[in-house]
Structure 1
Amino acid sequence: MLHAPSLRLAALPFALSLVPQSAAADAPHWSFANLSVNRLDWSSGTEQRTADDAAKSDFTYLEIEGGAGFSWGEVYAFVDIENPGHDRFDEASGGSENLRTAAKVTSHLYLGESPFSLYLHVYDFRDYGYDGREQDQVIGLGYRHTFASGLWVKPFLAAARVQSDGYTGSNGGMLGWVAGYDFSAFDQAFSVTNWHEQTFDRDAEYLSQNYVGARADSVGTNGAVALWWHPHRLITTGVQYRYADNKLGTPKQYQNAMIYSLKFNFL
């Protein structure tokens, strides 16, 4: 069974060490946290395209997620447990529904009064049945802007490093963003969000060692677009369109899924 230390977010202490020491006394300007249950349903086309290479199978995952904003910057994090209750290697599915974990920490450390920031990002993925692991460590320049309409966007451009069972070292760069917009309809509160990551100039050795069968292209795409309904302050439900290309272990193939989520907001 999974224990918390097995997540081993090695870069998290490094990221936290960059937070100003006065931060502990700085009350957050905003914060949120939730616990959710989610069902990811891959398209039939994705399941066919990946059948012989990092095969995709629908799965349920539990997630704890939260974030906070301070005068010095902002931090966001989540931890997912995929296929909870399954064995480390799931015999019935041939390994496609193994117990897995994914975790991510991102932060914008503000550069004075400007809209620019030092951007830090750590993503850690583990497939326990195959002893597979990959941790992406990203550092670069971020930006924050809210339009008069209420649309907000936080893009970043960064250098990337990876630690995995197949390759450890620098791994090109990453261009990405998170964006969102809150609105009302039918006397109900809704929001639309998008996260997107475009990796580029990835290392040739990484592409050979971390993809089975064929080598992936140097550019990879990863992201999701979501529509959220907020019927009550304690409850959020939503649907996400998940997309990826030359990522998630499958080279030269587009992958897409729908994710159905129910969140309990406890902060």
Structure 2
Amino acid sequence: MKITALIAGAVRGAAFLTAMGLACAGAARAQAPASQLDTILSAGTLRICTAGDYKPFTVAAGEGYEGVDIEMAQSLAKALGVEPRFVRTKWADLMPDFLAGKCDIAMGGIGVTLERQKRAFYSAPTLATGKVPLVRCADKDRLQTVADIDKPGTTVIFNPGGTNERFARTSFKQAKLQLHTDNVSIFDEILAGRADVMITEAREATIQEKLKPGLCAVNTDKPLTFSEIAYLLPRGDVVFKAFVDQWLHIAKSTGEYQRIFDKHFR
């Protein structure tokens, strides 16, 4: 009888512990912070921060935008079943605007950096790239490396707040550094001879080479750096990141991303 009673007591104890465990798990799930995914679905709107000045990824066009990541943003919104709403930002304001909650995601040729990674998540990379010099074609042979460029008498121009500025300020000690706040007209400064070189992503350099006769992208097959481009997401929100990564995986696997990229990379 004692053994039977002990067994019965053990069974009741195990059942109690199981019930408590399930209750605690349920309470934990109930108290888990809501994902931005839930907020987006509830609002019916996906807010996208974008600079609108970085071909072929994001370009302000009239009252709207166009570019690779603009179409990808529209694709993401469609996958979510919501409407896209673009929020204009500047490169210098990108992280402050994002951290202030002005948008749910930031898209538009955003480079992956460890500094940004401290404060935000990134999606899986959309593509790999690197920094290359963009120069007047007459200077293509003499301005190929950092050592070639970093000399007195050479003017390096850059736009504020992004990886181009960071590279210029950390890499060049003797060349003249010139800040230019408009990322659309900056290339004309090189053509006009008011600057000699801009260090930018290979994709953008190639696009500007096509758009601006007289400019040449240098060694696009051997960039000065390795970098990746991705989408900026709220730090810690693994649910929203998982959705974005899966959507991007499908877009790449079905060829959707490549079709959009090829359309704008002409």
| Range of TM-score over shorter length | under 0.3
Compare the two structures and name the one with the higher helix fraction: 2
Choose between structure 1 and 2 for higher RCO, CA contacts under 8 A separated by at least 6 residues. 2
Query: Over alpha carbons, which structure has the higher Rg?
Result: 2
Q: What is the TM-score when the length of structure 2 is the normalising length?
A: 0.22
Greater strand fraction, Structure 1 or Structure 2: 1
